[in-house]
Structure 1
């Protein structure tokens, strides 16, 4: 089941990455926070290594970002956000209580 889910996510990621960059930039209007990354992984029941595989970002980089040991490069955060969106997460802006996530 995990292999099928990973293949579906990889296909969605490929589709998103091959879209026109202007369209992609409107979808990704803000960078994700470490909290959102952790929440998204928990909602999807993805481990750090699984997210690393589908996003193309190393597991160590993801761990450092989530633990706030690194702010993350813009390209790294974009890759994480694209992969998590492709897996079914919607990112919510701060609305008084801080930014969040939910499943689509």
Structure 2
């Protein structure tokens, strides 16, 4: 849980507020080693970091065991406005010799 909090740049107080638990609870959960037990408290903490864009994963399809990964929020969008795309002339001209792929 500490790694997830670090990815978000949250203090224990921020996670406690987002999960509606106490700071002491956050500290106690972060002090645990290994997989977290499946409780209402750990689910609230996991839901809070997931809502903020962090994926928690355990043993299974992800190699390497327990971990966290920063993911895009479902509300994130990619700006594809071509009218505002910057094109630099030197990248538009082919300056490679004939026969060179790329």
TM-score with structure 1 setting the length: 0.57
Task: Give the C-alpha shift of residue 92 in structure 1.
Answer: 2.4
> Which structure carries more relative contact order (alpha carbon 8 Å, separation 6+)?
1
Which residue of 2 is the match for residue 86 of structure 1? 51
Is there any run of 5+ residues in structure 2 with no aligned partner, and where?
72-102
| Count of aligned residue pairs for this structure pair | 67
Q: Which residue of 2 aligns with 1:13?
A: none
For residues 40 and 9 of structure 2, the distance between their equivalents in structure 1, rounded to whole angstroms, comes to: 24
- The reply to whether residue 100 of structure 1 matches residue 67 of structure 2 is yes
Structure with the bigger percentage of helix? 1
Task: Give the one of 77, 81, 86 matched to 2:42.
Answer: 77
Tell me how large the CA RMSD over aligned residues is.
2.0
Structure number with greater Rg is: 2
Runs of 5+ consecutive residues of structure 1 not aligned to the other structure: 1-36
